Every structure is written in C-alpha cells, then in structure tokens.
A and B are shown apart, each in its own frame.
Chain A
C-alpha cells in the first residue's frame, strides 16, 4: 500500500483521538500475554506424512504506511503499560522483596498512562478503519518480558522502567516526525514527553544524573519491529 493509502482521513483521526483526561488508570491493556499467537503451529508430534508441497503466501502486514506508525505507537505504549503494570502487581505480591511505596506508586502511575496512550493510538487506528493492536507484537517484547521475569529487587524494576520508557519516548519522538495527520502528530507530541517524564522519575529514584540523551531518538523502534 502506498503512503497515501496508509494515511487516514483527518476527521476520523480527530474523532479517534478523543479525550485522554479520564483515561489514566482506568483500564488494563486487553491482551498482553505470553500465549502464542492464534494459529501458531503445534509442537512436534509423531512422524507423519511430509508437509504439503503447495506454496503458501505470507500474510500481508496488517499495517502499512502511516498506519504502521500508529500501530507501532500502540504496541510500544501497550508493552510499557503491560510490563510496568505487571511489575506493580508483582511488587504488591511481594515478588521482589520489600518494595518502597514510592516505587510501587511510580510503577502503577506510569503503567496507567502508557495504557491510556495505547488506547489512544488504537482509537486512531480503528477510526481509520484499521484493526486495533492487541498485546505487544514487537520483536523486542520477549527480551523485555524476560528482564521483568528475571527481576529480583526494586532496583531491577526501576532499571527496566528507565530503559523501557526511554525506548517509548524515543519511538514516539520519531513517530512525531513521521506522521502527517494532525491528530497523530498531536498524540505523539503529547505522549512522548510524558514517557520521558516517567524515565526521568525512574532515573531520579535510581540516583542517576538528570541528563537527557544527546540523541533523543537513540534506541527508537521502527515499524520493522512490529510482528503483525
């Protein structure tokens, strides 16, 4: 699909942006899980007939052109919301030892805002006639989820949060320059600084210097990081 074909009508974008003010903390991302994707091939079994020799065509990407950038925004925000939300839940269950209240409140608060961002990106997609992104279909998802699984202490959660929110901020910064529809630019421009604020707070709690990256797009994910 051409870039033009990937763009969405401005009116539908604006309708999709909606209001974000009441969204913080209201919902968990619907389908962030470790489950294999629907239709994944079954594991090995007893020897059977050879595989069919008919060729199959790989499914076309669900998102192309500007819609791929919206999907990327939804996926990366959704991943941050899910992982930070799980970190907060695990902290509440004592999985990481004694977690200071300030760390728990940070994780919960940041997670809620990322979830709200993911919902806003998805509203733009749906308003443009594209499917909403479910889960976190990103190439980096297993590695980042592995870091959460391997976390042992609050400092590990804060380190993950600092890195993850840095990736989100960098990605949304690139998206801000890559999209053209006003509602998408507005969302990227408004959400990227909030993700950066999460990173700054995590850095403060870790005792790191308050230095902004010299290249604010370093580590940004591109549409090729999408697995849908």
Chain B
C-alpha cells in the first residue's frame, strides 16, 4: 500500500533519528560518554541507543520508499544547529544525559504523534514500536539525570544500590500518564525539499 501523504511524516522522523544517532555517536566518543571513565549506565544506554536507532533508520527508510518517497538521510534542520552548539560544551556525564534527553524527548514525542497521523496500519505499528524504544531510553535518561543531580554519581551504577536510591528514582522515569506530544516536530520540518 502506498500513502504519499505519509512521506513527509516519515522523512521528518528519519531526520530526527539521523540526528539522534549521530549525536549518540559523538557522545560515545567522549571519555565520559562511551570511554573508560564513563558511568556504566550512560555507556550502556548510548550503545543500546545507537543499535536501536539503526533499526529505526532502516524501518523508516523502507516505509518511505514504500510510500513512494525519497529517503531522508540528513539530520533534522531545526535541531542540528542546537546540537552543533551544545556538543562542544559537554563536560561530563550530566551534560551527556541532558543532551541525549533533549533529543530523545523530541524524537519520542514526534513518533507518538506520527502514529496518529500515519495512514498505513503496518507503518503505524512499526513507528509505535520505535516510539516505545525511544520512550524507554527517555525513562532511563530521566532517572540518570535525577541521580546525577544528587551529586552522588555512584548511585548511577549497574546494578544500582536499591537501598541507597532516593524513592523518586522509582517514578521519575514516567512523569506522564499519556506520553506528551507538545514538542512533536511538524511533518514538514525534516521533509526532503
């Protein structure tokens, strides 16, 4: 089934996936991102994210082609400059988590909104699956952000010391009853021009 109206939606989603994957790669190259001094959960999250984003890239590309469109391989034009400005200022694990969280939130919100807007059931299901994957990463990032904000980086361990964790660490990863979409990128944002 082809759905030309779905093409810009899929292209914009691809552009956000491209940017997030590229950024994860850059963060992974930092000593405190994926290097020897990285906190284990931060390092693991970046590695898992790159793998999952690769699957998202492939699935979105296939859906774009099936809808008769050209695959978007460029990063999102709105957020790419933001990332370019932020990357040189990343100084530690808190900054890594903060930048990743910003991107995952926009990506997940966009994918959730896309599920409602897309017309092909199989594509809706595929995109919903990638939305849940992005939401999983957001949950871990929110938790890590809270733990790092305490100033006790040792709390962000694998496995964590459950008795030492603040109670809020059990709920901060899922702040909303329904996943929000206010920050979702419009379908035209990353469309191929």
Contacts and interface: CB of A to CB of B under 8 A. Distances in A.
Interface in A41-77: none
Interface string B15-51: 0000000000000000000000000010011001101
Contacts of A117: 177
Contacts of B130: 216
B192 interface: no
A199 interface: yes
B169 A102 contact: yes
A42 to B, nearest CB: 42
Nearest to A189: B115
Interface string B91-132: 000000000000000001000110110000110111011111
A177 B158 CA distance: 35
Interface in A169-185: 169, 172-174, 176-178, 180, 182, 185
Interface stretch (A18-26, A123-131, A140-148): A18-26
B174 A177 contact: no
Q: Is the interface of A mostly helix, strand, loop or mixed?
A: helix
B9 interface: no
Contacts of B183: none
A191 B131 CA distance: 11
Interface size class of B (residues with CB under 8 A): 35 or more
Contacts, number: 166
Interface residues of A, number: 57
A164 interface: no
Contacts of A205: 159-160, 162, 165, 170
Given A172-B128, A210-B41, 17 more contacts: A20-B177, A21-B177, A109-B170, A110-B171, A190-B178, A192-B132, A193-B108, A193-B131, A193-B179, A196-B139, A197-B174, A204-B41, A204-B139, A204-B140, A210-B48, A210-B137, A212-B137
Interface of A: 20-21, 23-24, 100-107, 109-110, 113, 116-117, 154, 169, 172-174, 176-178, 180, 182, 185-201, 204-207, 209-217
Interface of B: 41, 44-45, 48-49, 51-52, 55, 108, 112-113, 115-116, 121-122, 124-126, 128-140, 143, 158-160, 162-163, 165-171, 173-174, 176-179, 181
